């Protein structure tokens, strides 16, 4: 299986989880590409990022692979800011167009958990509008991004779903 993991990470928690997931897929002999989405002009303050997220801004993003049709599974990940997901991922999702019948998964990393369900629901709705088949969707505590047992437990469900879906 060919897998794309598309993510934005500001503090490194989301990226750490994506790298963990990449390694798990590769252990199962899958081909994985990490696609880190970054704004061309990134706001470096957390509060500036939150303000941009809250107002649903779509910053210009750098060169990120937007042809996801060549992948069997696309996974989207982002931190939760101001009750939604990161603006850079929002820009990416707007650029990619329709993904009819493509398998997707998503997860969000959060600190307090406030607004995480709303953010995840919003991301799921965007993926549904792109006509994807969502296999897995979850909120994860960002502070546990270094805890391998936590990551194993939470991503094990994704691999069970994939095994049953094949």
Cβ neighbors of 30 (< 8 A, separation 6 or more) are 1, 2, 3
The answer to whether 137 and 124 have CB atoms below 8 angstroms apart is yes
Q: Domain segments of the chain: what residues?
A: 2-157
Greater confidence, 28 or 114? 28
User: Which helix (H) or strand (E) covers residue 159, if one does?
Assistant: helix 148-165
The CA distance from 162 to 150, in Å, is: 19
CATH class as words, domain 2-157: alpha beta
The answer to whether 18 and 34 have CB atoms below 8 angstroms apart is yes
pLDDT in tens, 84-118: 898 889 889 988 877 899 999 999 999 877 788 99
Q: What is the DSSP letter of 42?
A: -
Pinpoint the alpha helices (H) of 37-147: 46-54, 87-96, 116-129
pLDDT in tens, 29-79: 999 999 999 876 666 666 666 666 656 666 577 766 678 989 999 999 999
Find how far residue 60's CA is from the centre of its chain. 18
């Amino acid at each position: 299986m060919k897998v794309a993991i598309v993510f934005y990470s500001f503090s490194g928690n989301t990226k750490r989880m994506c790298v963990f997931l990449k390694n798990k897929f590769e252990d199962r002999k899958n081909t994985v590409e990490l696609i880190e989405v970054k704004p061309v002009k990134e706001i470096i303050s957390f509060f500036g990022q939150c303000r941009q997220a809250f107002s649903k801004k779509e910053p210009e993003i750098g060169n990120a692979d937007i042809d996801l049709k060549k992948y069997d599974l696309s996974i989207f990940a982002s931190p939760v800011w101001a009750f939604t997901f990161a603006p850079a991922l929002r820009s990416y999702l707007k650029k990619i167009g329709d993904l009819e019948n493509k398998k997707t998964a998503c997860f969000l990393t959060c600190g307090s958990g406030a607004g995480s369900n709303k953010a995840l629901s919003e991301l799921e709705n965007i993926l549904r509008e792109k006509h994807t088949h969502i296999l897995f969707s979850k909120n994860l505590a960002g502070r546990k991004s270094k805890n391998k047992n936590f990551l194993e437990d939470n991503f094990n469900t994704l691999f069970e779903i994939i095994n049953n879906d094949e």
